[in-house]
Amino acid sequence: MNNTKLASSLIAIVPLLTGAIAQADDGPTKDDVGRPGTLAEVERTIEVKMGDVYFAPESIDVKDGETIRFVLKNDGAMLHEFNLGKAAAHAAHQKEMAAMFRNGTLSPTGRNHDMQAMDHTMGGMKMVGMEHNAPNSTLVEPGTTQELIWTFSKTTGLQFACNVPGHYQLGMVGLVNVK
């Protein structure tokens, strides 16, 4: 690989690395937003409907330590995401999601399964931000239903949001009130 191509490749991945580092710093931990739960721990099920571009309900009340099974139904025509986190983590994740749309991993209506199956390495370095597999988040394609199980910890400023480019900014975000 010549120096020009190498420099271009490095310039292209720096924003991805920056987004991954920002999410690692602001992402979910046991101390701030909770942890993945198990089916055996589920205390209650909450159905969340997604549309273009809204959530119903618009806010959710949970108890500290409660494990919720979210049933997420996408009634819209576009790909949506259900992501639990604080505003800073959503901002960082939005950059990663934008990169996934730019590189073709995601499209407005779903995942590009051919791209996800590819080995995302460049010059021996694993490309970050190319997989959507965080435990606090799931993608829901149009007309489908997904589930996410989460055990909440006492926190403030927790949101559920869709970080598909532009959706958060159009109001596809709600508050999680942990009591």
Range 119-129 burial, b when 16+ CB lie within 10 A, else e: ebeeeeeebbb
Choose the weakest-confidence range: 2-16, 31-45, 58-72, 75-89.
2-16
16-47 pLDDT tens trace: 333 333 333 344 444 478 999 999 999 999 99
Q: For residue 33, what is the domain's CATH number?
A: 2.60.40.420
Report pTM: 0.75
Q: Do 21 and 45 form a contact (C-beta atoms < 8 A)?
A: no
Domain of residue 36 covers: 3-178
- Please state, in angstroms and rounded to a whole number, the distance separating the CA atoms of residues 157 and 139: 22
pLDDT tier for residue 130 given thresholds of 50, 70 and 90: low
Averaged pLDDT, 57-84: 97
What backbone phi and psi angles, to 5 degrees, belong to 106? -125, 155
- How far apart are alpha carbons 101 and 99 in whole angstroms? 5
DSSP letters spanning 135-154: TTEEEE-TT-EEEEEEE--S
pLDDT the model gives residue 112: 75
Domain tally, the chain? 1
* Helices of type H across the chain: 3-26, 87-102, 113-117
